[in-house]
Amino acid sequence: MTRVSKKFLAVLLSSAMLAAMTGCASSATADSNSTSGPAAESAAPAESADTTAETTAAASGSELSGDLDIWAWGADDEAKAREGAIEIFISEHPELNITYTIIPTADSVWDQKAAAALSSGSAGDVMQMSPDYYGMNTEYYIDLNPYVEADGVNLDDVLVPGVIDGYYDSDGKLEGFPLLANCFVMAYNKDMFDAAGVAYPEDGWTMEDLSDWGQAFATGEGANKTYGLVKHWVMNNVMVYACGGTPYSDDLSTSHMGTPEIVDALTLYKKLIDTGVIPDDTAQKTIPAETLFVSGKSAMYPCGGFETITVTNDADENGINIGFCKMPSDQNGKEINVQYATGWAITTTSKNPDAGWQFLKESAYANDEMAKQTAICGMPSNKKVAESYYADITFKGEGLNNSYYVEHMGNTHLNPFGGTLASTGNIWTTMVEAVLLDNQEPQAVVDQYAPQIEKEFAGYSFNKK
């Protein structure tokens, strides 16, 4: 077979293309009954011994052939990382006819196109996904457990601790496989701390501590105004945990958004804004958070693994002398760090799940060169590469390399409001704005909106741990 690789980098799919893909999907759906392996297995509620044997045979080494269509998201460095990794896979698998599409996530482009394709049966064989979907779209993904079992690999030996956990459904189904994950470190401007006579933050510092010594940085007026901490987009999620609370129970059955800890978190958030420790929305929209920090107008910046190179290089170019410390701790002493993760799934309509699995496992752990490409925009799930190549990458500033992200990834909160939980996240944003922008009392806001969140939880259909 002649191998053809088609690349559609960061291109929006036209409606005509979607229509054409929908037409192709009809044949994929029609043929799915004859597909061996886990794709066929997930299509039927019960499996026979013959099906299991067929699955094992397919997963444990039958030669690959045929087409493989991969859909990914990304822009800028993320898109380059995706392209680089996929091209390596293409070069090492001439027996496959591989096509791929990279779609931007801005303005919900990916969400809309992926949802339409999955529901119509026209999605790729392999689709980008995230464990913070909390079971959203799981009905469109096959169970990967039979492939893992057939390969006989101990995932603890090949994957970074913690990165696989979120991909298991509550019934044990392995709906996806990890690619990368990112968490945060707190960068701080050492010169601003020295000038203010404030000691550098030590591990265990809290947002309550910041509300005290952070006021030393809240000085100046207009263009010369400075702050203790930028209002980074991750801060709303950090503040959920700031006073010892959690947004919901571990099993996702019960909302905790009406608890006293959430009231306390909103109260503290308002204090930080009112005293100028954190800029209000108007000020932050005038100057982007990263610019505020690298220009010397904010003492601290929560720096995600996906942006560390950019932030540290920009700070260095501006003569900003930076150090690094852990993210803040909650009142129980647990670091508040949020994980954003990206993985892959094989669709139930895939005509070539065996080739899909080969791509998933090489992306996750079985191809070091692919993992090095992934390291451009985050910590690869490949344990060997993460603990060596990725961990050894150093940055401008004092005392930080990527080993921090590797060491802290297993003790993070998965993005609490992704996927199925997005509606709760939207209500939380409304609660924050009601307190910070409209000056409403935190207790009144919680009393008003917590019942709405409880109603949302009553309507959720979770398939997640």
Q: DSSP string of 297-310?
A: SBSEEEEETTTHHH
Cα separation, 111 vs 129, in Å, equals 10
> What does the domain layout of the chain look like in residue ranges?
6-182+340-390, 184-336+417-459
List, as own/partner pairs, every contact residues 28-33 make where C-beta atoms lie below 8 angstroms and the sequence separation is at least 24, other chains included.
Answer: 28/121, 28/122, 28/349, 28/350, 28/351, 29/121, 29/349, 31/351, 32/348, 32/349, 32/351
Torsion over CA: 14, 16, 19, 25 (sign): negative
CA neighbor of 382 nearest in space, from 403, 361, 401, 409: 361
Predicted pLDDT at 238: 98
CA atoms of 354 and 59, how far apart (whole Å): 6
Distance, CA of 439 to CA of 303 (rounded, Å): 29
- CA dist., res. 181 & res. 228, Å (int): 28
Q: Which residues contact 427 (CB under 8 A, 6 or more apart)?
A: 257, 449, 452, 453, 456
- Residue whose entry in the numeric block shows the structure tokens 């930076």: 322
Pairing mode, strands 300-304 and 184-189: antiparallel
Q: E-assigned strands of 234-327?
A: 300-304, 322-325
Q: Which CATH class is domain 6-182+340-390?
A: alpha beta
| Spatial CA neighbour of 3 closest among 64, 60, 79 | 64
pLDDT, tens digit only, all 465 positions of the chain: 333 443 333 333 333 333 333 333 323 332 332 333 333 333 333 333 333 333 333 343 458 999 999 999 998 889 999 999 999 999 999 999 999 999 998 888 999 999 999 999 999 999 999 999 998 999 999 999 999 999 999 999 999 988 999 999 888 999 999 999 999 999 999 999 999 999 999 999 999 999 999 999 999 998 899 999 999 999 999 999 999 999 999 888 899 999 999 999 999 999 999 999 999 988 888 899 999 999 999 999 999 998 898 899 999 999 999 999 999 999 899 999 999 999 999 999 999 999 999 999 999 999 999 999 999 999 999 999 999 999 999 888 887 899 999 888 888 999 999 988 999 999 999 999 999 999 999 999 999 999 999 999 988 876 543
C-alpha to C-alpha distances, 108 to 10, 279, 334, 377, nearest whole angstrom? 13, 27, 33, 20
CA distances from 454 to 238, 240, 259, 433 (A): 21, 16, 12, 19
Q: What's domain 184-336+417-459's architecture?
A: 3-Layer(aba) Sandwich (3.40)
